[in-house]
Amino acid sequence: MFDKNMVKETMLIAFGSFVVALGVYYFMVPENLATGGVTGLSIVLSNYLPIPVSLTNFVLNILLLLVGFILIGKEFGGKTILSVFFLSFFMSLMEIFHPATKPVTDEILLNLICGIVISSMGLSIVFNQNASTGGTDILAKLFNKYFNLDMGKGLMAADIIVVILAFFTYGIQTGIIGAFGWFLNGIVINYFIDGFSVINEVVIITKHPAEVKKYIFETLDRGVTIYKAEGGYTNESKDIIVTLLERKEYFILKKEMKKIDPESFVIVRTVQEVYGFGFSRF
C-alpha cells in the first residue's frame, strides 16, 4: 500500500543527507577539518589508508548501525540505514563527478563555519525524521533516549575522541580549529532543531474571549483551554485563554489581537516539545 508519510520521510532523509554531504565534502574534507563523528574519523583515517572518505564512512557506520538496531529500535535503525546510504552515495557522486581538489575559500575558519552551518541544517532535517546520518549521531541518540541529553550535547560528548585524534594527525592549528568546530557544531545543531520543533504556549487575558476563541478555532485550527480567574485588584471574573501555536501561527494571532483587543494581556512561553493531536506523535 502506498504510504504518503513514508515517501515524505524518505525524501526528507535523502535531502537532509545531501545537505550534510555538501557541507562536509566541499568545505571540511579539503581542509582536513575533523570536528567529530564518523565522517570526521573518516577524514582522519584517509591520511593513513588509501580508501575514499565515502567508503570509510560507510563501513564504520555499518558497525554502529548494529548498535542502533539493538538499543534504539527497528524504526530508527531502518531510517538510519537509508540516511547512511544516501550520505555515502551523495559523497561518492561528488568524489566522481566533482571532486574537491581544493577548499571552497582561502580562509580555513570560513570553510569551517560554512561546513558546520550547512551540515547542521541537513542533520536537523534528518533528526526530525527520527533518523540519523549514522556514526556518533547514533551514540548521541542513545544519550538522548537513556540520559535525556539533548542531541547537540550528545554529539559533543560522542565526538571528543575524533577531535583528539585530529590534534595528533594535523597538528595544533588545525586541531584547535577542529575543536572549535566540534563545540560550534553542537550549538548550531540545537539551534536548527529548535527552529523545527519550538512551540509557543500563548496565555491571553482579554475582554473579548469569545472573539479570540472563534479566531483560534476557525482561522488557526487550534484548540484552547479556558481557565476561570478573578482579577486581584478589580475582583472581576475573567476568562484566561491558553493555546499552543507554532511560531508562524503565533505571529498571525499577535497581529489579529491588535484588532480584536489592543488592551489584551498576553504571555508567551517557549515549549520545546508537544505530543498530542495536531502536534508530534509519541
Question: Rounded to an integer, what distance in angstroms lies between the CA atom of residue 33 and that of residue 181?
Answer: 8
User: Per-residue pLDDT averaged across 47-72, rounded?
Assistant: 75
User: Which is more confident, 281 or 177?
Assistant: 177
Q: Is the domain of 45 the same as that of 29?
A: yes
- Give the model confidence (pLDDT) of 215-230 as tens digits: 999 888 888 999 988 8
250 and 219 Cβ atoms separated by less than 8 Å: no
Res 195 pLDDT > 70 = no
Q: Is the domain of 146 the same as that of 251?
A: no
- When divided into structural domains, the chain yields a total of 2
182 and 35 Cβ atoms separated by less than 8 Å: yes
Q: Is the domain of 78 the same as that of 89?
A: yes
Residue 216 confidence (pLDDT)? 92
- Give the model confidence (pLDDT) of 125-169 as tens digits: 887 776 766 667 677 777 777 777 776 677 667 677 777 777 777
64 φ/ψ angles, rounded to the nearest 5 degrees: -75, -25
Residue 247 confidence (pLDDT)? 78
In a domain, 278, yes or no: no
pLDDT category of residue 91 using cuts at 50, 70 and 90 = confident
The CA dihedral of 213, 215, 217, 223, to the nearest 10 degrees, is: -50
Residue 77 confidence (pLDDT)? 60
Res 55 pLDDT > 60 = yes
Residue 86 confidence (pLDDT)? 87
66's grid cell: 548494529
Q: Is the domain of 227 the same as that of 92?
A: no
Q: Strand locations in 93-247, DSSP E? A: 199-205, 225-230, 237-246
Residue that is last in its domain, among 151, 178, 196: 196
Q: Is the domain of 192 the same as that of 228?
A: no
Q: Residue 268: which H helix or E strand, with range?
A: strand 265-271
pLDDT category of residue 267 using cuts at 50, 70 and 90 = very high
Average pLDDT, the chain: 79
Question: Rounded to an integer, what distance in angstroms lies between the CA atom of residue 41 and that of residue 39?
Answer: 5
Report which of 250, 254, 255, 256 is spatially closest to residue 211, judged by C-alpha positions.
256
Q: Is the domain of 208 the same as that of 83?
A: no
Res 101 pLDDT > 70 = yes
Of 61-65, 229-233, 242-246, the least confident = 61-65
In a domain, 282, yes or no: no
In a domain, 45, yes or no: yes
One-letter amino acid at 76 equals: F
32 and 43 Cβ atoms separated by less than 8 Å: yes
- The set of residues, in sequence order, having a beta carbon less than 8 Å from that of 242 and lying 6+ positions away, is 201, 202, 203, 204, 224, 225, 226, 227
User: Which is more confident, 195 or 58?
Assistant: 58
pLDDT category of residue 202 using cuts at 50, 70 and 90 = very high
Residue 243 confidence (pLDDT)? 93
Q: Is the domain of 66 the same as that of 187?
A: yes
pLDDT category of residue 79 using cuts at 50, 70 and 90 = confident
In a domain, 90, yes or no: yes
Q: What percent of the chain has pLDDT over 90?
A: 10
Q: Is the domain of 117 the same as that of 246?
A: no
Task: Tell me the residue range of the domain where 77 lies.
Answer: 4-196
